[in-house]
Amino acid sequence: MPTVTHLYHVISGQRVVVDAHIGDAQAGGHAIFLGTELRAQGELSLTGVDLGAAEDVAGQVLVVSSTAVDVRPETDHVSVEVVLNGGVPSPMPITQAADTPPNGTVNFLTVVTFVGDAQ
């Protein structure tokens, strides 16, 4: 159950947008929280989830929880890619990968603290 934490500098006037993908052609799903508010959830790939203006999200915590499921007969690799937009750099991909026993599940957490211009 891997976890990564990041700081992400957002740029005033920009919209902060996040994508999340289950990698390695596996199955799975995501839930995206800003603070404690569930902003989006969905299967396999979530794209273009608008978190709001940079000024509004600065100082808040983004939690992207993703569960990848090893359905592929070809491999036991599972991975997740979270892509942040609206800050520096943009896009900023954050990837995590793991190996699981055949037909196992792995939960990945990506925790991002947004930092504004003035912070």
Partner 1 sequence: MTVRSMTVRSAILVLLLGRAAAAQDIPEFHKLRTPVSPAFQILGIAPAHVERPTTPATFAASVLQKAQDFSGVLPKSVAVEVAPFWLQPHPGMTFTEYQGQGWKSLYRNFTVSLATTDSVGDGGAPPDGNPDWRRLGFGMRTTLLPGSRGVTPTCVREISAAATAHTTAIGALVARAIAAGRLSRSNSAAIEAFQNADSTRAEARASLSRWQQDLLSPEGVGRCTADLSARRGAAMDVAVAAAATFPEGRATSGEISSVGVWITPAILGDRFSNIAVLRLAWHDLDSTTSRNTFDAGLRSVYAWDRYATSLELVNRLERRSGETSDFIRIALNFDVKIAGDTWLNVALGKDFDARQPQSLLALLGFQWQLGDRSVHPDK
Binding residues for partner 1, per CB under 8 A?
1-5, 7, 21-33, 35-36, 38, 41-45, 61, 63-77, 79-81, 93, 95-97, 99, 101-105, 107, 109, 111, 113
Give the residue with the Cβ less far from partner 1, 4 or 17: 4
Token pair listed for 99: 């190996």
DSSP 64-116: EEEEEE---SS--EEEEEEEEESEESSSEEEEEEEE-STT-EEEEEEEEEEE-
Residue 90 or residue 107: which is nearer to partner 1 going by CB?
107
Shortest distance (Å) from residue 95 CB to partner 1: 4
Tell me how far, at minimum, the Cβ of 27 lies from partner 1, in Å.
5
Nearest distance from residue 16's CB to partner 1, in Å?
Answer: 16
Which of 81, 113, 91 shows the shortest CA–CA distance to 6?
113
